[in-house]
Amino acid sequence: MKITETDIPGLLVIEPKVFEDDRGYFYESYNERVFAEHGLDMRFVQDNESRSGRDVIRGLHYQLAPHAQAKLIRVLEGAIFDVAVDMRRNSPTYKRWSGIEISAVNRLQVLVPKGCAHGFRVVSTTATVFYKCDEFYHPRSERGILFSDKALGIDWGIEPGIAVVSEKDRKAPVFADADNNFIFDQI
């Protein structure tokens, strides 16, 4: 398993070692020991899965501390453009976003740290997204940021008016008005 840091501290891209032959393929998508060897001491407590059609944007979602979640995201079918926004005050990358295409073909995974908002756009006909969380869903702590916030300047590769977005996500506040209790190195 190859673990690569991005420009946002704690936001990691994970590339599993895939074994393929005429029967198909096999890979280890998660191994607690390997994560610990890379300083990633976390315990996942909840798995989530979603299926969406082309041009659906889900996000940008997060939970306030102390219920903030780290998420390990992978795609079981199709492809997505996966985005994380650093919300941690005092972070060297505060208010910056990072995006990467992950798919069932490239088998990349993304580890989104606590204190980052997360979202994705489906770039294939459909996509099934699976992710592990290190904290349980906590409805009272659930928050969002408007996916099309001009101050963030996220290039989703689609015009906001064409994207298929839930009413809740369309009504989310911009970054400047979003609830935020994250401080870098304290979450």
Residues with catalytic annotation?
A: 61, 131
Give CATH for domain 43-177: 2.60.120.10
115: left (phi over 0), alpha (psi -120 to 50) or beta: left
**Positive or negative: CA dihedral 121, 127, 133, 135:** positive
156-173 residue pLDDT tens: 999 989 999 999 999 999
Is pLDDT of 187 > 90? Answer: no
CA distance 108 to 102: 5
Mean pLDDT, residues 51-68 taken together: 98
**The pTM is what?**
0.95
Cα distance from N-terminal residue to C-terminal residue, the chain: 26
CA distance 187 to 181: 9
CA distance 34 to 145: 33
Q: How confident is the model at residue 6 (pLDDT cuts 50, 70, 90)?
A: very high
Mean pLDDT, residues 69-83 taken together: 98
78-131 residue pLDDT tens: 999 999 999 999 999 999 999 999 999 999 999 999 999 999 999 999 999 999
Structural domain boundaries of the chain? 43-177
Q: How confident is the model at residue 67 (pLDDT cuts 50, 70, 90)?
A: very high
20-44 residue pLDDT tens: 999 999 999 999 999 999 999 899 9
12-15 vs 109-112, strand pairing mode = antiparallel
